[in-house]
Chain A
Amino acid sequence: MTVAVLDAHEVRIGRRQAVDQARALARRSVVGTLRQPQVWLPGLLFPMFIATVNTSTMGKAVHIPGFPPVDSLLDFLLPASITQSVLFGGLTAGSDTALDIQTGFFDRLLASPVSRTSILVGRLAGASVTGALQAVVFMVVYGIFGVRIAAGPAGAVLLIVFAMVLALVIGGFAAMLALRTGSAEAVQNVFPVTFIGLFISSAFFPTELMTGVYRSIARRNPITWMVDGMRHQVIVGLDWSEAATSLAVAAVLAVLAMFGANRALQSRLRRAT
């Protein structure tokens, strides 16, 4: 009986320590990202640049029949910019993991009694927090230029939650690749693929106005399902059904990505040991 009680106590301590370890590693991840403006600044400026160019050159597209009802193209692009920025930033979670492997910091972690899962959870939690910060920056900056979220504060919170889950998706897939290859370059090479995925979706243009194969692909693209649900909160108003669809798609992808990343971690640990 005593042994059982001690075991349970030890398990509780182990769990608490694993949470503390994951939190400390998440903090390292966020601090490390924030201390590298060269890493996060392009992820903010590039989507803003694209939104600026699109708004200037295609601003009148909002008057095309069938275009969702918006005051300005910038309203339409807010969820796209957040998605683009988070896709870019989420890859950092993978490339930083690969760098830890390349520099030997990963070995330092493994030589300590850290929970192996905490290494991964910490990294992805850090990416998720960074995603939330990115969403806030876009809402503030676009807000200065007149974008109002129709769903109000609840819509803003939904956009932040969406950004956090999306960061888990891309961060998880990037971490999986990093753990499989141990190469930061391999992770960075995924960037163009995510970009193609973003452009063949409703992120920058409504699928209703697309034609042919492009439209067919875009309608099946999970990015479309995620972005449309969030866009609804920005340009129409609070709609839990739309939000749930968007977040559910992101959540399923996040679970798949984290499962894959965990498999890759276990595989790396087996290879190493």
Chain B
Amino acid sequence: MNVVGGHPIEAEGLVRRFGDLVAVDGVDLVVEEGEIFGFLGPNGAGKSTLVRMLTTLLRPTAGRARVAGYDVVEQAGAVRRSIGVALQDAAIDPLMTGRELLRLQAVLHGIARAEADERGDVLLERVGLRGAADRRVGTYSGGMRRRLDLALSLVHEPTVLFLDEPTTGLDPTSRLALWEEVRRLNDEGTTVFLTTQYLEEADELAGRIAIIDGGKIVREGQPRALKEAVGAHTLVVTVPVAQDGAAADVLLRFGEPRAAKAGSVAIGLAGGPAELSGALRALEDAGITVEHVELDAPSLDDVFAEATGRRLEGAESDEPAVEVSG
């Protein structure tokens, strides 16, 4: 890892406007060397716009950013030589073979043919595409394209890797395989900037995350710390409808009420999992029939909800984020 001074990614007051629309609104960001930084948000939150600015594809309206130690506007060429980019939708020429595209990418980065072929072979092996290397990309599955996209972004051994929603649309197996590869890259020292709309993905991979909403970063930190900051575990108890009022009265002794479906009562269990048995005993003592019990640890969705008043989970399509009910 050879970042020229400072952090692999630094942004200060970064703004991007499209006419009246402010897509990114004063983002400050520091990504540490060797970390996987997760950038989380719903569609239209500003994730891809920020990535396009950091990868020199879009000029900021205001503010400044440095990537791999270079200014994204003044030293765009140096930034491009230092970064690997796998953009959303894996834009790969379907008429070329995987091997041909790796060669092309190598030439674009000024790598000599012999070295390019050698690196290409290593990368194809690494992403499990050696057997399909001489097939046209048009015959690849979605997962294979993503893996090739990743290999293409690594041809020149970048110091910083940008992955823009790398697993969107992938089946679970392909998603897990890609996660594994991202972890391996990070273990080897590559700094990874990962945008995603999948909470689980950010939780699994990222050492730190930022949540963006409406162009602004609304939370930033380690996933665990952010979840802990949201507060207690949520206890959800399903009882007969006639008894939900009484159940609520009992459970309120153990924590604050939380939104729940009809027939269920939910509270933030102030004392954590240790109080679960006590709460259930109290329900039993009150003669309430407990049909189902759930104890949910705070999730990144809770963090998102707490920060924005909306849920991200289930809002992975183009629909707007789901309002918290209750």
Contacts and interface: CB of A to CB of B under 8 A. Distances in A.
Genuine A/B complex: yes
A117 interface: no
Interface in A100-121: 103-105, 107-114
A31 B57 contact: no
A189 interface: no
B57 A113 contact: no
Q: Which among A103, A107, A111 has the greatest number of chain B C-beta atoms within 10 A?
A: A111
A191 B106 CA distance: 36
B95 A105 contact: no
A28 B93 contact: yes
A273 interface: yes
Interface in A10-24: 13, 17, 20-21, 24
Counting contact residues on chain A (CB < 8 A from B), the size range is 20 to 34
Interface of B: 55-59, 77, 80-81, 83, 85, 87-89, 91-93, 95-96, 100, 103-105, 107-110, 136, 152
Contacts of A31: 95-96, 100
A35 B136 contact: yes
Contacts, number: 69
Q: Which among B55, B88, B105, B107 has the greatest number of chain A C-beta atoms within 10 A?
A: B107
Q: Which among A21, A25, A28 has the greatest number of chain B C-beta atoms within 10 A?
A: A28
B17 to A, nearest CB: 14
B250 to A, nearest CB: 56
B80 A113 contact: yes
Given A108-B91, A112-B109, A28 B85 contact: no
Interface of A: 13, 17, 20-21, 24-25, 28, 31-32, 35-36, 103-105, 107-114, 272-273
A152 to B, nearest CB: 38
B95 A112 contact: no
Given A113-B80, A272-B58, A24 B107 contact: yes
Contacts of A273: 56-59
B104 A107 contact: no
A108 B93 CA distance: 10
A110 to B, nearest CB: 6
B310 to A, nearest CB: 29
Interface class of chain A by DSSP: helix
A103 B136 CA distance: 17
Given A28-B104, A32-B93, 6 more contacts: A24-B107, A28-B100, A104-B89, A110-B57, A111-B55, A113-B108
A108 to B, nearest CB: 5
Given A28-B96, A273-B58, A112 B80 contact: yes
Given A21-B108, A273-B57, A105 B93 contact: yes
Contacts of B109: 112-113
A93 to B, nearest CB: 15
A54 B59 CA distance: 56
Contacts of A32: 93, 95-96
A13 B112 CA distance: 12
A107 B91 contact: yes
Contacts of B87: 104, 107-108, 111
A36 B109 CA distance: 28
What are the 3 tightest A-B residue pairs by CB atom distance, in nearest-first order?
A104-B91, A273-B59, A24-B107
Given A111-B56, A112-B109, A273-B58, A24 B104 contact: yes
A221 B193 CA distance: 56
Given A28-B93, A107-B91, A21 B56 contact: no
Contacts of A111: 55-57, 80, 83, 85, 87
Given A24-B104, A273-B56, A36 B89 contact: no
A36 B57 contact: no
A111 B85 CA distance: 7
A24 B108 contact: yes
A126 to B, nearest CB: 12
